[in-house]
Amino acid sequence: MATNDSKVWFITGISRGLGRELAKAVLARGDVVIGTTRDGTSGLEARAGALHVLTLELTDAARIPQVVKQAHALHGRLDVVVNNAGYGLLGAIEEATAEEARHVFDVNFFGPLRVVQAALPFLRAQRKGHVVNITSIAGLAPMAGSGLYAAAKCALEGLSLSLAQEVAPLGVKVTLVEPGAFRTDFLSQHSRRESQGRIEDYAKTAGAVVEYLGKISGKQLGDPALGAKAIVDAVVADAAPLHLVLGSDALRRTRERVGILSGELDRWEAVTKSTDLTGPEAAGTLRPS
Ligand SMILES: NC(=O)c1ccc[n+]([C@@H]2O[C@H](COP(=O)([O-])OP(=O)(O)OC[C@H]3O[C@@H](n4cnc5c(N)ncnc54)[C@H](OP(=O)(O)O)[C@@H]3O)[C@@H](O)[C@H]2O)c1
């Protein structure tokens, strides 16, 4: 059984990439991993009782609550719940089919939502726990060429920012991990999906980005083992961050985005404020805190 000093981590997608490195880093700490893969095997080695692998395909909505319940029953608690599994859909927004859009949201947004909803009754009962949602730099500063993936990750960002406020008084923490480009299978043909429709008008925007992403596959800046270590360090820190941006590429893009937003707020401030009621009607206004 897990000791009082160790943590029990539930991690989706430990077959490859960041999830696999995270599972290794957690096991190396002496903590317990309950990981999911699509075939129920991981190939990872661990001391007896430290690693459990459950089968989960994230689009199988009905199975998610069963898997989370099964995970909780293994050690009688869940300390850290990591939504890691995901994939990128590349192509211009207009090029995507409705089915591609639905699937990318099913895996990257509705899957994590269902995991969180299934885990929360346990975390609330414990009055402690930590939800870690791995989104992406695409969820903070989207580029052309992966708009629907970015939309799903932005949705997970919004959900997490609200969730953090709802569960903080109940002792549950939330951290968003926003990686830049990491050297995993993420951009390889094994993982990425590409909309098949091609519209020539997007060749220089979305098309150019998709071509660039193909070229950097296997040559990304981020080391997944160091990314995993950074996630573990953040989770065990006294004051865990709400946002954990990983990689200097992600840092640069986030700073650019914040600068653009801040500049536009300043430039358009007068217009922004011009829509408030004025005069006698303003007196009875209630403002959200
Ligand atoms: N690497 C990057 O550059 C990068 C950047 C930003 C964000 N991220 C995010 O980081 C997370 C991990 O990605 P990664 O880089 O480790 O990619 P990866 O090497 O392609 O691994 C993806 C993992 O997700 C699992 N997965 C994919 N679709 C699934 C589904 N429908 N049901 C269950 N499991 C599924 C895969 O399982 P199988 O082995 O069965 O396919 C695999 O374990 C993702 O959420 C991704 O969006 C990655």
pLDDT per position as a tens digit, 46-61? 999 999 999 999 999 9
Q: Looking at the domain assignment, is residue 3 inside a domain?
A: no
Task: Give dist(CA 206, CA 57) in Å, integer.
Answer: 29
Amino acid identity of 165?
A: Q
263-276: pLDDT as tens digits: 999 999 999 999 99
Residues having CB within 6 Å of any atom of ligand 1: 13, 15-19, 37-38, 56-59, 84-87, 107, 134, 136, 179, 181-182, 184-186, 191, 220
- The single residue listed with the structure tokens 């150019």 is 208
Angle (CA) 50-8-165 rounded to 5° is 165
Number of domains in the chain: 1
Ligand 1 center to residue 153 CA distance, Å? 13
Cα–Cα separations (whole angstroms), residue 164 to 99, 106, 274, 285: 31, 22, 32, 28
Averaged pLDDT, 215-243:
97
Q: Looking at the domain assignment, is residue 288 inside a domain?
A: no
| Polymer length of the chain | 289
- The single residue listed with the structure tokens 């870690």 is 132
79-117: pLDDT as tens digits: 999 999 999 999 999 999 999 999 999 999 999 999 999
The H or E element containing residue 273 is helix 269-273
Q: Is the pLDDT of residue 234 over 80?
A: yes
Q: Looking at the domain assignment, is residue 282 inside a domain?
A: no
Q: Is the pLDDT of residue 18 over 90?
A: yes
114-131: pLDDT as tens digits: 999 999 999 999 999 999
Q: Looking at the domain assignment, is residue 179 inside a domain?
A: yes
Q: Looking at the domain assignment, is residue 287 inside a domain?
A: no
Check residue 219 and give its pLDDT: 96
What percent of the chain is predicted at pLDDT more than 70? 100
Q: Which domain holds residue 106?
A: 8-269
Q: Is the pLDDT of residue 33 over 80?
A: yes
User: What DSSP letter does each residue of 100-163 carry, written as one string?
Assistant: HHHHHHIIIIIHHHHHHHHHHHHHHHHT-EEEEEE--GGGTS--TTBHHHHHHHHHHHHHHHHH
For the chain, give the mean pLDDT: 97
pLDDT band of 65, cuts 50, 70, 90 = very high
- Who's near 39: CB < 8 A, 6+ residues apart? 15, 55
Q: Is the pLDDT of residue 5 over 90?
A: no
Phi, psi of 140 (to 5 degrees): -110, -40
Check residue 119 and give its pLDDT: 99
Check residue 281 and give its pLDDT: 86
User: What DSSP letter does each residue of 50-73 carry, written as one string?
Assistant: TEEEEE--TT-TTHHHHHHHHHHH
Catalytic residues: 149
Cα diameter, the chain: 71
Task: Give dist(CA 20, CA 26) in Å, integer.
Answer: 10
Ligand 1, atom 1, residue with closest C-alpha: 182
Cα–Cα separations (whole angstroms), residue 92 to 66, 67, 206, 246, 259: 36, 35, 5, 26, 25
Ligand 1 center to residue 230 CA distance, Å? 18
Q: Is the pLDDT of residue 284 over 90?
A: no
Q: Looking at the domain assignment, is residue 155 inside a domain?
A: yes
Check residue 55 and give its pLDDT: 98
- Are β-strands 243-246 and 172-179 bridged in parallel, bridged antiparallel, or unpaired? parallel
Check residue 283 and give its pLDDT: 87
Q: What is the CATH number of the domain that holds 170?
A: 3.40.50.720
Q: Is the pLDDT of residue 235 over 80?
A: yes
Q: Looking at the domain assignment, is residue 276 inside a domain?
A: no
